[in-house]
Amino acid sequence: MIRRGIGVQSFVSAGVDADAQAFITAAGITDATQQSAINTLVTDLKGYGVWTKMKAIYPFIGSSSSTQKWNLKDPRDLDAAFRLVFNGGWTHSSTGALPNGTNGYADTFLTPSTSLTNSVHFSFYSRTNQANSASTEMGCYDTSSGLPFSTLAINTNAFGGTSRYDMRFFYLNDANLYLTPPASTAGYAINTKLSGTTTKAFWNNSSLGTITGTNALPNKKVYIGARNSDGTASLFTSKQCAFASIGDGLTDTEAANLYTAVQAYQTTLGRSVGTQTVSDADAQAFVNAAVIKDQVQATAINTLVTDLKTYGIWSKMKAIYPFVGGTSSAHKWNLKDPRDLDAAFRLVFSGGWTHSSTGALPNGTNGYANTKMLMATAGLFSNSHLSYYSRTNTSVAPSSYKVEIGRGNSIAGTYTNLYLRLDSSNGFGGNFGNLGAVSTNTDARCFGVVSSTSSTSLKSYKNGVLLATNTNTQTNTPPTLEIYLGAQGNSSGIDWYTDRECAFASIGDGLTDTEAANLYTAVQAYQTSLSRNI
C-alpha cells in the first residue's frame, strides 16, 4: 500500500512501481486511492506486455490541468516528453478532462511521422454520450500526405445526418472510412493498425469492424479534444476524456488486455462507464452477459457472488436471478450460468412484465417467466429450495392464490407441486410434493425461502427466520414440467399469477437453517447496496 507523506517527495513505499512513482511525484498526486490506481495501471500494462508499446499515456487523474497534463510513460514537463498543453475551454475534475466543444483542445506534441511507424494505435475513454456532434476526439490532418490521419470520432448521428464511427488511419478511399457507431458514445474506443493496410476498431472490448487502405503518416501534431487540421484545431468535441493513449499497434489480445487494464483503473476511481470490471470470474461472466455498465450494480453482483461462496451456498445453486440492469435483456440471465441457452436456465419472459432498476414486476394476469428448468432437474423433493424476494405487498381473496415461483401438477388426486407463495391472506410458505410448510403472514414484502433437506423435512423461512416445518414423510416425486417464475402453471395450463415485484430468485439444493439465514443476509446486503431493500 502506498503510504501518504508530506509533500510530493515523500510518496515512497515498498512495492510501488518506479514508473508509477515517477508519475505520482511529477503530478503531485496525494490521494491514496489515486496513487494506488496509477500503480495498478502501470503494473497491469506491464503484465500484459502493453507498456512497451506505448508512446504516450494520459490517465487524466486529479482534478486540475496541472495534474492531468502528464504523460505516464515519460512524466517530464517537456514538449519532447509529450505532456499535454491545454488550450481554450476545459473543465478539469476528478472524473476527467472535459473540453467545451468550441475551442478546447490539448496539444500532445507527438507527430506521427517522427514518433510512429505504420504500426500504430490511438485510444480514447469517453464518459459522455453525445449525439449529433460532428467532432473528433483526437487526431491530426495533413493535406501533404493525402486524406486525414484521425480517429475516434464516435458519433450516434452526425456529419450531415450520417450515423457513423469515423475511423481514419491514413486512408485513400474516403468511402471506406465509416463503421456503424455504438448506441452510446460513452465508452472506451481503441483503433489499431499493426502493419499492412488493415485497421481495426474496438469499442468496450468488442470489435466494430475493420477498414483497409494506405497513405503516408502525417507530419502534424496529434491533438486531443479536436483534430489538428494542417496546424489549426477543428471539429472540437465535448466528450469528457478519462484516459487516452498513443503508441504502436496492438493485437486483438493486446487491445482486449488494454481495455481490461483501463476499465479496472476507471473502476478504482469510481468513474467507469461501459461494461464493468469486477474481481470474481463468475461475477464478471454475468456482468459481461447482462452488459452491466453501472459500477454500483456490478459491484453489488460481485459482492453477492463472493458472499454466497463464503457462506458455502454458491455450490448449492442451480439458478440465481438477481434482476439487475433494469431491462428484460438484463433480467433474463442466470448468475450461475450466464449463457443464452435453455440449458443454462436463462429466463424467457411471457405476457405482461414491467422491468426497472428495482426488479421485474409481473402484471398478475398473464405475466410469467419460464426458467426452462424441469422440476426433476431442480432436485428431488427431498433436496431442493426455492426463493423469491418480493418488493410488493398484495393480498388475494381467501379462495384464490398467487404463486411467486414453482410448478404444480395433480393427477388423480396425487399432488406433485413445487412452489413458493408469499400470500398474506392464504398463508406463507410452499408445497413440495405431498408436503406443505405454511404459516400466517401479514406482509408479502420479504425474502421467502422454502427448502427441503430430507424426505421428512420441509421448511419455510421469511427473511431468514424459520416460520413453518413439516416432518411428515415425502412420498411423491417431481414430474418433468418446467418451473415458472411469476406464476405456477400445471399440466393443463398456467394459473395463480402473482403481481409481486421480484428483485431476486433462486433454485437449487436444499438449505439448512443456517444456510437459509446466510442466504437472506447475502441477498439483503445485495438489495441494500442497490437501494431497493425492503
Has residue 65 got a pLDDT over 50? yes
- At 20, list the grid cell: 508509477
Instruction: Say which residue, 6 or 95, is predicted with more confidence.
Output: 95
- Mean pLDDT, residues 355-376 taken together: 94
- Mean pLDDT, residues 520-526 taken together: 98
Residues contacting residue 281 through CB under 8 Å, at least 6 positions apart: none
Instruction: Write down the pLDDT at residue 7.
Output: 42
- Mean pLDDT, residues 67-74 taken together: 98
Instruction: Name the band, by pLDDT with cuts 50, 70 and 90, for residue 226.
Output: very high
Instruction: Write down the pLDDT at residue 350.
Output: 97
- Mean pLDDT, residues 440-445 taken together: 83
Secondary structure letter of residue 170 according to DSSP:
S
Instruction: Write down the pLDDT at residue 6.
Output: 35
User: From the DSSP assignment, how many helices (H) and strands (E) are in the chain?
Assistant: 9, 34
Give me the sign of the Cα torsion angle 423, 424, 426, 430. positive
- Mean pLDDT, residues 162-167 taken together: 49
Instruction: Write out pLDDT tens, residues 447-465.
Output: 999 999 998 989 999 999 9
- Mean pLDDT, residues 257-277 taken together: 89
Spatial distance between the Cα atoms of 319 and 297, rounded to a whole number of angstroms: 19
Answer whether 329's CB lies under 8 Å from 349's CB.
no
Instruction: Write down the pLDDT at residue 3.
Output: 35
Lowest mean pLDDT among 61-70, 330-339, 476-485, 502-511: 476-485
Instruction: Write down the pLDDT at residue 14.
Output: 58
Spatial distance between the Cα atoms of 300 and 530, rounded to a whole number of angstroms: 7
Spatial distance between the Cα atoms of 48 and 260, rounded to a whole number of angstroms: 10
- Mean pLDDT, residues 137-143 taken together: 83
Does the 8-268 domain belong in CATH 2.60.120.1130? no
Element (H, E) at 290: helix 281-290
Instruction: Write down the pLDDT at residue 2.
Output: 37
Of 254, 242, 163, 238, the residue nearest 200 (C-alpha): 254
Instruction: Write down the pLDDT at residue 508.
Output: 95
Largest CA distance in the chain: 89
Of 513, 518, 498, the residue nearest 390 (C-alpha): 498
- Mean pLDDT, residues 12-30 taken together: 89
Mean pLDDT, all residues of the chain: 85
pTM of full prediction above 0.85? no
Give me the sign of the Cα torsion angle 52, 53, 56, 61. negative
- Inter-helix orientation angle 295-310/281-290, to 10°: 140
Instruction: Name the band, by pLDDT with cuts 50, 70 and 90, for residue 432.
Output: confident
Instruction: Write out pLDDT tens, residues 397-420.
Output: 555 678 899 887 654 444 456 777
Instruction: Write down the pLDDT at residue 8.
Output: 41
Instruction: Write out pLDDT tens, residues 248-266.
Output: 989 999 999 999 999 999 9
Instruction: Write down the pLDDT at residue 413.
Output: 46
Answer whether 316's CB lies under 8 Å from 383's CB.
no
Q: How many CB atoms lie within 10 A of CB 261?
A: 23
What CATH number matches the domain at 281-529, 2.60.120, 1.10.10, 3.30.310, 2.60.40? Answer: 2.60.120
Instruction: Name the band, by pLDDT with cuts 50, 70 and 90, for residue 181.
Output: low
Has residue 480 got a pLDDT over 70? yes
Has residue 430 got a pLDDT over 90? no
Spatial distance between the Cα atoms of 499 and 359, rounded to a whole number of angstroms: 12
Instruction: Write down the pLDDT at residue 417.
Output: 65
Q: How many CB atoms lie within 10 A of CB 103?
A: 14
Our measurement of the distance from residue 139's CA atom to the centroid of its chain's CA atoms, rounded to an integer in Å, reads 29
Instruction: Write down the pLDDT at residue 481.
Output: 83
Has residue 303 got a pLDDT over 80? yes
Instruction: Write down the pLDDT at residue 192.
Output: 85
Spatial distance between the Cα atoms of 444 and 421, rounded to a whole number of angstroms: 9
Has residue 435 got a pLDDT over 70? yes
Lowest mean pLDDT among 53-67, 295-309, 483-497: 483-497
% of the chain with per-residue pLDDT over 70: 84
Q: What are the boundaries of each domain within the chain? A: 8-268, 281-529
DSSP result, 11-70: ---TT--HHHHHHHHHHT---HHHHHHHHHHHHHHHHTT-GGGEEEEE---SSSHHHHS-
Which amino acid makes up residue 510? G
Spatial distance between the Cα atoms of 28 and 9, rounded to a whole number of angstroms: 9
Spatial distance between the Cα atoms of 467 and 459, rounded to a whole number of angstroms: 8
User: Do 281-529 and 8-268 have the same topology in CATH?
Assistant: yes
Sheet containing strand 482-485, strands side by side: 348-350, 368-374, 482-485, 405-407, 417-422, 428-433, 435-439
Lowest mean pLDDT among 134-148, 265-279, 365-379: 134-148
Three-state DSSP class for residue 521: helix
